[in-house]
Amino acid sequence: MMKTLKRRHRAILLFALYLATVAYLCFLKSGSIPVLRQFIFGIPTDKIIHFMMFLPYPFLAYTSFRPDRKGICPHFIVLAAILIVGAAMSMGVERLQIAAGRNYDIKDFYANIAGMAAGAAITTVFIFARHRLDK
């Protein structure tokens, strides 16, 4: 029990650091962002960055708040709630960037959602693998 609690605290701390880093990157002033190549494999670089920033979100949130219950259903309910909160957070960040002197771009939101969807797929594999090991 104590080992699980320590592991949970480490997961929550890592998740909080991740969220702080994402917030910092999302609210940087436009002039302080380094100039990158405009496209990578035909995809706008900023969309790849948004995708990569939100890719770890579902897994880090899940490991922080996963239920202790047996059975697979509660785990997917938690994952669904994480994705709903993540989508709302992503839209809020995009809207608040206007206050930081940045542009609102719905395509950034779509890239964030795509990153979360990919992260959710990875987390789903993790949930199924863990469920099989627990049997």
Going from the C-alpha of 16 to that of each of 2, 11, 68, 93, 125, the distances in angstroms are: 21, 9, 21, 16, 23
Which of 76-80, 90-94, 103-107 bottoms out in mean pLDDT, i.e. has the lowest? 103-107
- 3 state SS of 66: coil
The residue among 60, 72, 66 whose CA lies nearest residue 122 is: 60
pLDDT digits (tens, 9 = 90+) for 3-30: 666 888 999 999 999 999 998 888 777 6
Nearest to 86 by CA among 121, 109, 116: 116
Contact (CB, 8 A) for 58 and 86: yes
Parent domain of 6:
2-134
Give yes or no for residue 1 having a pLDDT over 60: no
- Pick the more confident residue, 56 or 94: 56
In this prediction the pTM is 0.85
Q: How many domains does the chain have?
A: 1
Q: What is the mean pLDDT of residues 31-59?
A: 82
